[in-house]
């Protein structure tokens, strides 16, 4: 499994999906498939089976693939599992939490939000308090890794708080599933998509849900195409997707799942991504960069760095210089300070992350930045918020 593919002179995507895929995944797309054909139906069944096999406790769960980007699957999950008279508590600490609240507004589902700002984690005690204060809340939606800051939210703690109050947990595990274990987490449903930690190409997502929840979702969805129960029932009956599946993306995903298993499953993937993160964080800190998050909350998925305070630093030029050296980085999404992000996921290993750090150092030198440390104000803001946590 070569990491970079020397035959392809394309940059590495240090982004949280689409991301850099293996040559085998790309090659799997060189054949056309009939969506109704038995061979393709077998592929669909195999990906569902392999995804369930990644769970610590798959008994009582089933997996439903859904066309579209990850957001389509989040919307499908919310519309299918939250009853029209339900009420949702959204745990938000970034753009994806906000998107969940926005989706619920579209769906006309009552909801309330614990908003932790840009990068503080929702904690068990505040969730318990919110649930005790409002008996109407039926469901809690959590984001596993909030990709906008890279924070790894304490999902087990969240799950314990939700279960203790007898409510139902739904999880956006988009950028975590397949690389972060779900040990001890009690959830009714979670979603992820093809182009994140399994390292497939974009085109579909999947919902993993308790079978009892799938059964209860019949007739509930606001949407024909995003009806999880209907997709599940049809797939179980005919082996087919209800509407045209992204066939090439699906067969590429099976290839990606085989590589995931060969790497040692969730534990193997977690180990590689963690090493990628450790190399990039240590290297960038040695250049003077600072991470937005303290070490405890850093995920092995994506890391946010403050932009240097130096007036010689210009993000657009830095981005272009990094791209010329073969690395596509990702702009930041913070309100508190200028920042950028470096993804640790995709077909990349520690050797490549060392090259990323080297490229960052060279790019700083070209810009004439000799100190990459962030503005003092960003660090003060970070310390103030962290103290509140």
Ligand X SMILES: *Cc1c(COP(=O)(O)O)cnc(C)c1O
Please report which helix (H) or strand (E) contains residue 66, including its range.
Answer: strand 61-67
Instruction: Return the structure tokens found at 83.
Output: 């009853």
For ligand X, give the closer residue by CB, 197 or 364: 197
User: At closest approach, how far in Å is the CB of 176 from ligand X?
Assistant: 8
Instruction: Return the structure tokens found at 304.
Output: 């946010």
Instruction: Return the structure tokens found at 47.
Output: 């990906």
For ligand X, give the closer residue by CB, 177 or 306: 177
**Long-range contacts of range 291-298, CB-CB < 8 Å, 24 or more positions apart?**
292/118, 292/119, 292/149, 292/150, 292/334, 292/337, 292/339, 292/382, 293/119, 293/149, 293/150, 293/151, 294/386, 297/119, 297/121, 297/151, 297/152, 298/150, 298/152
Contacting positions for ligand X (CB under 6 A): 16-17, 69-71, 74, 96, 143, 147, 172, 174-175, 193
For ligand X, give the closer residue by CB, 77 or 161: 77
Residue at shortest CB range from ligand X: 70
User: At closest approach, how far in Å is the CB of 193 from ligand X?
Assistant: 5
User: At closest approach, how far in Å is the CB of 253 from ligand X?
Assistant: 14
For ligand X, give the closer residue by CB, 293 or 364: 293
Three-state SS at 100: helix
User: At closest approach, how far in Å is the CB of 95 from ligand X?
Assistant: 8
For ligand X, give the closer residue by CB, 73 or 310: 73
For ligand X, give the closer residue by CB, 172 or 290: 172
Sheet holding 139-143, edge to edge: 61-67, 204-210, 189-193, 168-172, 139-143, 87-92, 110-115
Radius of gyration of the chain (CA): 21
For ligand X, give the closer residue by CB, 68 or 374: 68
Q: Tell me 311's DSSP state.
A: T
In whole angstroms, what is the distance from residue 219 CA to residue 217 CA? 6
Three-state SS at 76: helix
Please report which helix (H) or strand (E) contains residue 39, including its range.
Answer: helix 38-53
For ligand X, give the closer residue by CB, 175 or 247: 175
Three-state SS at 116: coil
For ligand X, give the closer residue by CB, 147 or 339: 147
Contact 263, 269 (CB under 8 A): yes
Specify the residue for token string 């061979």.
39
Q: Kindly give the pairing relationship between strand 330-331 and strand 339-343.
A: antiparallel
User: At closest approach, how far in Å is the CB of 322 from ligand X?
Assistant: 21
């Amino acid at each position: 499994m070569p990491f970079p593919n020397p035959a392809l002179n394309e940059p590495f995507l240090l982004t949280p999906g689409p991301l850099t895929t293996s040559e085998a995944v790309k090659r799997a797309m060189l054949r056309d498939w009939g969506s109704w054909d038995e061979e393709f139906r077998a592929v669909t069944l195999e990906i569902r089976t392999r995804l369930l096999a990644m769970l610590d406790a798959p008994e009582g769960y089933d997996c439903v693939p859904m066309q579209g980007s990850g957001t389509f699957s989040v919307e499908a999950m919310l519309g299918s599992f939250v009853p029209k008279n339900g009420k949702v508590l959204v745990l938000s600490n970034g753009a994806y939490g906000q998107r969940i609240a926005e989706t619920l507004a579209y769906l006309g589902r009552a909801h309330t939000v614990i908003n932790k700002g840009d990068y503080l984690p929702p904690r068990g005690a505040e969730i318990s308090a919110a649930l005790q204060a409002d008996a109407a809340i039926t469901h809690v939606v959590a984001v596993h890794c909030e990709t906008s800051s890279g924070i790894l939210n304490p999902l087990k703690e969240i799950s314990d708080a939700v279960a203790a109050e007898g409510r139902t947990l739904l999880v956006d595990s988009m950028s975590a599933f397949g690389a972060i274990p779900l040990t001890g987490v009690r959830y009714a449903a979670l979603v992820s998509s093809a182009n994140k930690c399994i390292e497939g190409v974009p085109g579909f997502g999947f919902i993993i849900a308790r079978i009892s929840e799938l059964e209860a979702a019949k007739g509930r969805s606001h949407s024909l195409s995003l009806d999880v129960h209907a997709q599940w029932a049809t797939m179980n009956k005919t082996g087919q997707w209800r509407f045209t599946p992204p066939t090439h993306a699906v067969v590429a995903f099976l290839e990606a799942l085989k590589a995931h298993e060969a790497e040692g499953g969730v534990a193997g993937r977690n180990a590689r991504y963690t090493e990628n993160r450790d190399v990039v964080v240590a290297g960038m800190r040695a250049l003077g960069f600072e991470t937005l998050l303290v070490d405890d909350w850093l995920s092995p998925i994506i890391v946010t760095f403050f932009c240097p305070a130096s007036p010689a630093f210009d993000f657009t030029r830095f981005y272009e210089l990094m791209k010329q050296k073969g690395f596509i980085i990702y702009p930041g999404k913070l309100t508190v300070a200028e920042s950028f992000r470096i993804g640790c996921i995709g077909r990349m290993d520690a050797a490549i992350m060392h090259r990323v750090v080297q490229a960052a150092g060279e790019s700083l030198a070209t810009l004439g930045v000799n100190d990459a440390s962030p503005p003092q104000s960003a660090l003060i803001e970070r310390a103030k918020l962290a103290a509140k946590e």
